[in-house]
Amino acid sequence: MSAASNHNWFDTESGILDRRIFSDEEIYQEELQKIFGRAWNFMCHESQVPEEGDFFMNWIGEDEVIIVRDRESTINVLLNSCPHRGNTVCRAELGNTKSFVCSYHGWNYDLNGRLIGMPSEEHFYRNPMDKNDWGLTPAAKVESYKGFVFATLDPDAPPLVDYLGWVGRLGIDFMAAQGELEFLDGVHKNRVQCNWKLAVDNLYDWYHVKVSHGSALKIGMIGEESMAPMDQMVLLGEFGHGIGGPGITEEMFRESVARLRGLEGEQIWYDRNVRQRMKPEVTEMLGPVGKRSFGHPNIFPNLWVALTRQVCLRIPRGPCETELWWFNFQPKHVPVEQRQNAIFVQNHLFGPAGILEQDDGENWSHSTRGAKGSFARTRPLNFTMGKGQDQVLHDESGQSRIETVVNEHGQRWTYQSWQEWMNAASWPELMQNHSLPPTGKI
Amino acid sequence: MSSYQKLDMQQRMLLKFEVEEFLFMEADLLDSRRYDEWLDCLADDIHYWMPIRRTTTAREVEREFTKPGGMAFFDDDKNVLALRIKRLAIGRAWAEDPPSRTRRLITNIRILGYDGEEVSVASNFKLYRTRLNSEEDNWIGRREDKLRRADGDFKLSQRHIYLEQTVILSQNMSSLF
């Protein structure tokens, strides 16, 4: 348990942010405990580890974990650190194995992380030692939502499905609604010299598209209608989840289908996406508001669920460094051509060579640099766009939303929630003190 | 590609000289930011591909690279390469404005095969990029190219790029390899 705090880095009244949160080492260390140490962190998709012994490596903050399927077909999440000297027991980033053997002294662990062997145990460990006490440390809880595996290190965390809430679930719901998903082999990974929160901030940011991605717009790689619209719908969820971006009108649905029949081009994925939502079973799953949300969901803290059947994990590597991992999915049963088009989009929009994402990294790293200077870091950052100008609209389905123009509601909600996590001493305290999604004027 | 084996030493040296001239010339076009001229060096059906590389155990090293048709950093045809280049010229391509400074070192050139029309060539490269005041990227890897004879010159019809990094230690790869 950590101590409660009363930080006011983000002033919710004014929308002013203390930019030290993007560069300060102490704040970062606190985040590793209070954000990543507590949250449900995305690990992988079940289809990444289909067989007994299949494993994939991921991170919870700066702690490396092994995600492995055991003999009972359960997926375990184990700390990649041998309790003898702390050495890693797995150095590959994926694979299949019967057990994990520490390369230092040969302590050997089964797929559940149990210590099953130590070289020359009977000769050297003459003192009794209970091997049951010295397995690989498991995550406190591992749960899946529609095939997406999450883990938390905090036993007090609420169940995953409650943690996600309807806003956190919506992005995954939409992907899962497209048929049984299959992970496509190969995670795009690269490193940006930026604070992880700036990458998260950016997914709510529909203000930057025309400028940051001006070149991609001009060459027709992305369309104005889908990527730089004025009309926006924002959904805010408990614990910091959110979705920000365009809302689709019935008219847009109709136009999109018409274009799909007539015109070919790179926008085809967008049209298919829209058409998917018109299927009755999908409409029912997403709900009347969720169906119209075409924004970017973030599952707090750091998982962007993109509309392209991709998720991007923003893994902290220090206050000023972040790894971006793109996981790619497709429904198992789709026509070859449709599959190839979708893979084309997944390979060409995002990732370090992605025509869209290339231009983001430098902005985020320079924003991080702007939080380092001893004078610059004293200067406030402005998150006031649209503040106090909008109304949270209630829907009888329970799906509240804000319908407005380009705004910074998603970012403000993220920093407000983040601050509540940072100020709470524990999950029980966070449960008690966190803000519920806003109502009324916002 | 058996006809390469039938060439005598002098013919092989000549072929290698031609191939080297081409590879050094197109590297220089990229270093000099003469992108449109570089595009002219490509065959219309070029496949330009960089798979994703992973750390695996020695036992599972066949899983090291992703497969063609799947996920990749680059999986481009000529149209996509032309788009990348057009983007640079159009302004607002912030990753390259101000422009990066790059230098390509092409080494260990080996001819793997020649059928009278197309030469298969392996080479190693170092692509050094520096941006702004102090940003540096070093990309080292192997390329497997195909050079096709056309009008007394070559056109590049395949470039498969195998980088040594698994996690790309750069904020983007806005350079061409």
pLDDT in tens, A68-113: 999 999 999 999 999 999 999 999 999 999 999 999 999 999 999 9
As a whole number, mean pLDDT of residues A391-419 equals 96
Look at residue A225 in the predicted model and tell me its pLDDT.
Answer: 65
Which of B71, B84, B94 shows the shortest C-beta gap to A184?
A: B71
Asked if residues B60 and A92 have their Cβ atoms less than 8 Å apart, the reply is yes
Here the tokens at position A184 are 């496509």
In degrees to the nearest 10, what's the CA dihedral of A179, A312, A55, A59? -150
At residue A435 the predicted structure's pLDDT band, cuts being 50, 70 and 90, is very high
As a whole number, mean pLDDT of residues A347-364 equals 91
**Which chain B residue shows the shortest CA-CA distance from A57?**
B55
Topology of domain A40-143, per CATH?
A: Rieske Iron-sulfur Protein (2.102.10)
Look at residue A267 in the predicted model and tell me its pLDDT.
Answer: 58
Q: Which residues of A touch B57 (CB under 8 A)?
A: 91-92, 95, 97
Residue A17 and residue A8: Cα distance in Å, rounded? Answer: 9
Helix, strand, or coil (residue A137): coil
At residue A334 the predicted structure's pLDDT band, cuts being 50, 70 and 90, is confident
Return the number of other C-beta atoms located less than 10 Å from residue A262's C-beta: 7
- Residues of B (102-161) whose Cβ lies below 8 Å from A: none
**Per-residue model confidence as pLDDT tens digits over A281-323:** 898 999 999 998 889 999 999 999 998 899 999 999 999 999 9
Q: What percent of chain A has pLDDT over 90?
A: 76
**Per-residue model confidence as pLDDT tens digits over B63-120:** 999 999 999 999 999 999 999 999 888 878 888 999 999 999 999 999 999 999 999 9
Look at residue A158 in the predicted model and tell me its pLDDT.
Answer: 98
- Kindly give, in sequence order, each residue whose CB lies less than 8 Å from that of residue B160, ignoring residues fewer than 6 positions away: B47, B49, B50, B51, B143, B144, B145
**Could you give the residue ranges of the DSSP H alpha helices within B34-139?**
35-40, 78-90
Q: Which residues of A touch B84 (CB under 8 A)?
A: 355
- Residues of A (208-247) whose Cβ lies below 8 Å from B: 211-212, 214-216, 218-219, 221
Look at residue A299 in the predicted model and tell me its pLDDT.
Answer: 98
Q: Does B75 touch chain A (CB under 8 A)?
A: yes
B85: distance to nearest CA of chain A, Å? Answer: 10
Look at residue A178 in the predicted model and tell me its pLDDT.
Answer: 85
As a whole number, mean pLDDT of residues B145-173 equals 97
Q: Is the pLDDT of residue A257 over 90?
A: no
Here the tokens at position B122 are 């392996």
As a whole number, mean pLDDT of residues A6-33 equals 97
Look at residue A273 in the predicted model and tell me its pLDDT.
Answer: 79
At residue B5 the predicted structure's pLDDT band, cuts being 50, 70 and 90, is confident
Q: Does B87 touch chain A (CB under 8 A)?
A: yes
| Domain boundaries for CATH 2.102.10.10 within chain A | 40-143
Range of A1-5, A74-78, A244-248 with top mean pLDDT: A74-78
For residue A59, give Cα distances in angstroms to A49, A277, B28. Answer: 16, 33, 41
Residue B171 and residue A357: Cα distance in Å, rounded? Answer: 10
**Which chain B residue shows the shortest CA-CA distance from A360?**
B95
Residue A48 and residue A59: Cα distance in Å, rounded? Answer: 16
Residue A298 and residue A312: Cα distance in Å, rounded? Answer: 9
As a whole number, mean pLDDT of residues A141-148 equals 98
Range of A265-274, A289-298, B39-48 with top mean pLDDT: B39-48
Cα–chain-centroid distance for residue A127? 46
Look at residue A260 in the predicted model and tell me its pLDDT.
Answer: 59
Mean pLDDT score of chain A: 93
Mean pLDDT score of chain B: 95
The structure's pTM equals: 0.96
As a whole number, mean pLDDT of residues A160-172 equals 97
**Which has more confidence, B2 or A329?**
A329
Q: Is the pLDDT of residue B37 over 60?
A: yes
B126: distance to nearest CA of chain A, Å? Answer: 18
Q: Do A190 and B51 touch (CB under 8 A)?
A: no
- Candidates 1.20.58.340, 2.30.30.830, 3.90.380.10, 3.10.580.10; CATH matching A8-35+157-246+292-439: 3.90.380.10
B146: distance to nearest CA of chain A, Å? Answer: 22
| Domain boundaries for CATH 3.90.380.10 within chain A | 8-35+157-246+292-439
The pairing of beta strand A322-331 with beta strand A381-382: unpaired
Q: Does B57 touch chain A (CB under 8 A)?
A: yes
Look at residue A265 in the predicted model and tell me its pLDDT.
Answer: 47
Here the tokens at position A376 are 């610059």
Here the tokens at position A45 are 């998709």
